[in-house]
C-alpha cells in the first residue's frame, strides 16, 4: 500500500455480519455493502488512506491506498476495527452489524429432531458505540440510522448514545432507499441539530455527500 506521511486515514465498516449457529448455518441480513464501498471509493478519490472492514459482499474494490479486511461476525469486525482506532481521523460505520448472535456456536451440525427448537441469542458488541467511548479530539465518527418510524428521534438518540459527530438518517419508507438498491435518500444530522436533507440520488453520489460532510467536520475539529 502507498502511504504518504500525514495522509489522513478513514476506517469504514461495510456489509452485513454473519453470526454462526453451527458449522453450516448462520444468521445475517440483506445488506449488500454497496453504500460502504461507495463511501470507500469517495474517500479514495479524495486521497485518503482507506481501511475497509467488510462483511461478506459481492463487490471487489482495489486501489493502492485501500486495505480491505474481510470479516464474518460482529466480533471479528470489532477486533479488526480496534487495531486502527488509534490511527484514524474519520470512522464511518456503514455496516449492518447483527445486533444479536447465538449464545453458543455448536461445534457439530445441528440435527433435525421431532421437536421445535428455539435459539438463545446474546447481544453483540456495538462497534460505533465502543469507538465513541475511546474517541480522541481530532477524530470524528459517522454512523447510520436505518429507521421505519420515529426517524428523527431515533437518529438523534444514536448520534448521542454512540458519541457520533454525524448521523446519516436512512428512511426505509422512501422508495429506492432500501437494501440492495443503487439509490439512497438521506438526511445528515450534526450535533448542532442541523438537518441536511438530500434528494434521492445514486449511492455513488450519496457517498460523495457523506464523505464531503465528514471531511468538513474533521477539518473543523483540527482548526
Q: What's the longest Cα–Cα distance across the chain? A: 66
> Of 29, 72, 163, 190, which one is the catalytic site residue?
29
- Which CB sits closer to ligand CTP, 47 or 196? 196
Residue 182 binds Ca ion (CB under 5 A): no
Alpha-helical (H) ranges within the chain are 34-45, 74-84, 127-134, 151-161, 203-222
- Which CB sits closer to ligand CTP, 54 or 124? 124
Least separation in angstroms between residue 206's CB and ligand CTP is: 14
Residue 99 binds Ca ion (CB under 5 A): yes
Residue 172 binds Ca ion (CB under 5 A): no
- Which CB sits closer to ligand CTP, 47 or 123? 123
Q: Is 29 a catalytic residue?
A: yes
Span from 42-50, 52-60, 99-107, 156-164 in contact with Ca ion (CB under 5 A): 99-107
Least separation in angstroms between residue 2's CB and ligand CTP is: 28
β-bridge partners, 31: none
- Which CB sits closer to Ca ion, 22 or 100? 100
CA nearest to 156, candidates 145, 140, 170: 145
Distance (Å, whole) CA 97 – CA 48: 24
Contact 138, 114 (CB under 8 A): no
Based on the number of CB atoms within 10 Å of its own CB, is 8 exposed (0-12), middle (13-18) or buried (19 or more)? Answer: middle
The contact set with ligand CTP (CB under 6 A) reads 13, 74, 93, 95, 97, 99, 124-128, 143-146, 158, 162
CB neighbours of 165 closer than 8 A, spacing ≥ 6? 140, 141, 142, 190, 191, 214, 217, 221
Cell of 96: 449492518
Span from 53-61, 64-72, 77-85, 97-105 in contact with Ca ion (CB under 5 A): 97-105
Least separation in angstroms between residue 141's CB and ligand CTP is: 9
Catalytic residue ranges: 29
Tell me which residues touch Ca ion (CB under 5 A): 99
Amino acid at each position: 500500500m502507498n502511504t504518504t506521511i500525514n495522509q489522513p486515514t478513514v476506517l469504514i465498516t461495510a456489509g452485513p455480519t454473519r453470526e454462526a449457529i453451527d458449522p453450516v448455518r448462520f444468521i445475517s441480513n440483506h445488506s449488500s455493502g454497496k453504500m460502504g464501498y461507495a463511501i470507500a471509493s469517495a474517500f479514495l478519490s479524495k486521497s485518503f488512506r482507506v481501511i475497509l472492514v467488510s462483511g461478506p459482499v459481492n463487490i471487489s474494490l482495489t486501489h493502492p491506498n485501500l486495505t480491505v479486511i474481510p470479516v464474518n461476525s460482529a466480533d471479528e469486525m470489532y477486533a479488526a476495527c480496534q487495531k486502527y482506532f488509534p490511527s484514524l481521523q474519520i470512522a464511518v460505520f456503514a455496516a449492518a452489524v447483527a445486533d444479536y448472535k447465538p449464545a453458543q456456536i455448536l461445534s457439530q451440525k445441528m440435527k433435525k429432531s421431532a421437536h421445535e427448537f428455539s435459539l438463545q441469542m446474546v447481544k453483540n458488541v456495538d462497534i460505533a458505540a465502543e469507538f465513541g467511548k475511546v474517541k480522541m479530539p481530532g477524530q470524528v465518527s459517522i454512523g447510520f440510522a436505518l429507521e421505519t418510524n420515529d426517524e428523527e428521534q431515533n437518529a438523534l438518540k444514536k448520534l448521542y448514545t454512540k458519541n457520533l459527530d454525524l448521523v446519516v438518517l436512512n428512511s426505509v419508507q422512501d422508495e429506492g432507499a432500501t437494501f440492495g438498491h443503487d439509490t439512497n435518500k438521506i438526511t445528515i444530522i450534526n450535533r448542532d441539530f442541523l438537518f441536511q436533507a438530500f434528494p434521492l440520488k445514486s449511492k455513488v453520489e450519496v457517498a460523495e455527500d457523506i464523505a464531503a460532510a465528514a471531511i468538513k467536520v474533521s477539518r473543523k475539529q483540527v482548526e
